[in-house]
Amino acid sequence: MQTRLTGVVQAWDTSHALLFCPAMNTGMWQHPLTAQHVTTLKGIGYIEIICITKKHVCGDEGKGAMADVSNIVNTVKQ
């Protein structure tokens, strides 16, 4: 089954940059499938805005939180 995000990525005009900002709880971030998905996107040439470590809404503390908005904005401007 195709997800909405996959559909957007497949329809993306590849002459334009695509940046992605992973955001999930630490358990999801550490799952091997997540690493494979990030590697696949980067292999296509998409640009990762690296997630950060912090306390998540679910109570977990660790890597996986979305990058700070200022970091995202600065990366997009570059």
Q: Is position 1 within any domain?
A: no
Q: Is position 3 within any domain?
A: no
pTM here is 0.81
Q: Is position 49 within any domain?
A: yes
Q: Is position 33 within any domain?
A: yes
Contact 18, 12 (CB under 8 A): yes
Q: What is the pLDDT of residue 74?
A: 96
Catalytic residue among 8, 35, 50, 58: 58
Q: Is position 52 within any domain?
A: yes
Contact 50, 59 (CB under 8 A): no
Tell me how far apart the alpha carbons of residues 2 and 58 are, in angstroms, rounded to a whole number.
27
Q: Is position 53 within any domain?
A: yes
Per the structure, the complete domain to which residue 54 belongs is given by 17-77
Query: pLDDT (tens digit, 9 = 90+) per residue, 28-78?
Result: 999 999 999 899 889 989 999 999 999 988 888 999 999 999 999 999 999
Residue 58 designated active-site: yes
Tell me how far apart the alpha carbons of residues 63 and 78 are, in angstroms, rounded to a whole number.
24
Q: Is position 9 within any domain?
A: no
Structural domain count of the chain: 1
